[in-house]
Amino acid sequence: MDPKFTNGFINQLRGRSIFLIGMMGSGKSSTGPVLAEILKYKYVDLDELIEKLTKKTIDKIFIEEGEKYFRDLETQCLQEIIKFPSTVVSTGGGVVLKKENWGFLRQGIVVWLDINQQVVIERLDQTKSDSRPLLKGKNVKLMYQEIFEIRKDIYAQADLRVEINNEGVKSIAEKIIRALKEKIKN
Ligand code: S3P
């Protein structure tokens, strides 16, 4: 990306943080660091932060403490993260569920990575992950569709929706920047 273009965009952002939201497997955690690097922003992965603080995997937290406990931690961490400007934050797919979280997300710019369903289901089928207890032992396709059905209108409340297919993370990061630049201009 042309540095002149990127620097102009960084100025336009005026330190506003960027929150990546979207379904599991949509590429929030892989795209976030690349986006942060281009923008010279700090980077936080919300799930990773929770795992570091609790010294447990997300899966273990769900098993031992339950989903509500995890969701409360998610909110508490988000509340801390928004104190830092110029940060790209990759959130967990369910962060949008609590109304309270939107109050925090709205302090930055919310970007929905809207990934093609077929691509993501194949991806999730192939990855065994300790961070996705909601899909564990389930029919990934059915469960994914069920969760997406409940959440799609909530994700749609993002400031920006970026359609994702099978592009690499750098292309996605650049796509986000171009779309955001367009959005901020208007
Ligand atoms: C969740 C998504 C996960 C993780 C947790 C719950 C969800 O994060 O926060 O398993 O409710 O969609 P990713 O979206 O990074 O997989």
Instruction: Give the tens place of pLDDT for each residue, 121-160.
Output: 998 887 766 568 999 888 899 999 999 999 999 999 999 9
- From residue 28, give the alpha-carbon distance in Å to each of 2, 149, 169: 23, 19, 9
The mean predicted confidence, pLDDT, of the chain is 94
Q: Which of 132, 145, 164 to mutate to test the pocket of ligand 1 (most atoms within 8 A of CB)?
A: 132
- The interaxial angle of helices 140-155 and 117-126, nearest 10 deg, is 130
Q: What is the pLDDT of residues 155-184, one digit of tens each?
A: 999 999 999 999 999 999 999 999 999 998
Calculate how far, in angstroms, residue 4's C-alpha sits from the geometric centre of ligand 1.
Answer: 36
Q: Which of 20, 21, 24 to mutate to test the pocket of ligand 1 (most atoms within 8 A of CB)?
A: 24
Question: What would the mean pLDDT of 103-108 be, rounded to a whole number?
Answer: 97
Question: What would the mean pLDDT of 10-30 be, rounded to a whole number?
Answer: 96
Say yes or no to pLDDT of 24 above 80: yes
92 lines ligand 1 (CB under 6 A): yes
